[in-house]
Amino acid sequence: MTKVVWSAATVIALFVGLLAGLNIGYERSPSRGSMDLRRFRGTKDGPLETGRTTDPTGRFDAVLLAESYGGAAGGGVNWYVASCKRNQPAVSATEAVFLATSARQVELSWRQAHLLEIHYLRAQILEFTNLWSTALIRTRWLSTEEPYWIEIRLVPSSSDFSILNAGGGFQ
């Protein structure tokens, strides 16, 4: 009888561990934890979308988002760039390919299909990835379509410095 109880307890523990592992694996983004772009401070309904441009195929959008933090004394703005399906909200860190603060004149443009450019005059870039794919979207796991890849390029407007000045100080 003790052997049966011990076996049942082992099976239950393995099952619970498997479920917990699946849940943790599903909730975390590969590179940025589980940040949800809908939960920005200071906004009730989601991030402040400041720009959106559709790729030449008409299937995907590049979205520029702003997050205010800290208030007037010592606060600032984080800028995010995310790729998502056309006319859909950019809501998960998996879709964010760029995070910067102290950014000025950030603009998005598609040079051609599969090639997105992030233009900026000034930016302190905290996170950047130069590739995005539909394979990174959670619902993609259930799809049989080939992944759609987008390369992302940074294009500073200045030929010299984009965050420092020539003396090594911040602009």
* 112 three-class SS: strand
Contact 123, 106 (CB under 8 A): yes
User: Block means of pLDDT (10 residues each) for the chain, length 171 residues?
Assistant: 60 52 37 46 60 95 87 80 88 77 93 96 93 73 76 93 86 82
Amino acid at 34: S
Predicted local distance difference test score (pLDDT) of residue 28? 33
Domain residues of the chain, as ranges? 1-30, 48-156
Task: Give the number of other CB atoms < 10 A from CB of residue 119.
Answer: 14
pTM across the whole model: 0.70
